[in-house]
Amino acid sequence: MAAVGDVLENPVTGERFTVLAVPRDDEDWGRAEILLPPGAKGPPRHLHQRTQERVSVLEGVLTVSLGGRRDRRELRQGETLELPPGVPHRFWNPGDAPVRLVGEARPGAQLGVALERLCQLAQEGKVTRRGAPKDPLEVALLFEQSEMYLTGIPLAVQRPLQRWLAGLARRRGYGT
């Protein structure tokens, strides 16, 4: 697991994450400074059932979709936005200048593990041009670890499929 001060880089998307705080338990916030290069797409639109997130812009302009697809906000330096559990969201940098922000999550331990694995897969050339794992079993493990669900697909379909695929991945030695 990453430690405070570690820098995780995704060479495919150009994103960089500097670990600022590693949570000890589910009550602690995990925290990272995130650098999104110009044009960075960020994560797909998703939600977490338990995880609360918060983004605070240090530099640049971050576009955030929170709630409905058309509910977009631009956050500027010094602005913070809460991303509550159960609410669909995504953030990205459509501009031509980098965006630096602090991303926080609680509980954050598993989200951090998933982020670390995603950067590792990117460094190994095992992701698509957009930065998503090519292997669906890796996707299932990452989504399970980060408690992430995509919007547009009913949770009643995603949950059992995700559990089954993640279980299959573990039986095949993934994530060890």
pLDDT tens digits, residue range 4-54? 999 999 999 999 999 999 998 888 899 999 999 999 999 999 999 999 999
Contact 168, 175 (CB under 8 A): no
- Tell me the pLDDT tens digit for each residue of 164-174: 999 999 999 99
Tokens matching residue 138: 């890796």
pLDDT of residue 110: 82
Residue 7, SS3 per DSSP: strand
- What topology is assigned to 7-171 in CATH? Jelly Rolls (2.60.120)
In sequence order, what are the beta bridge partners of 53?
83, 105
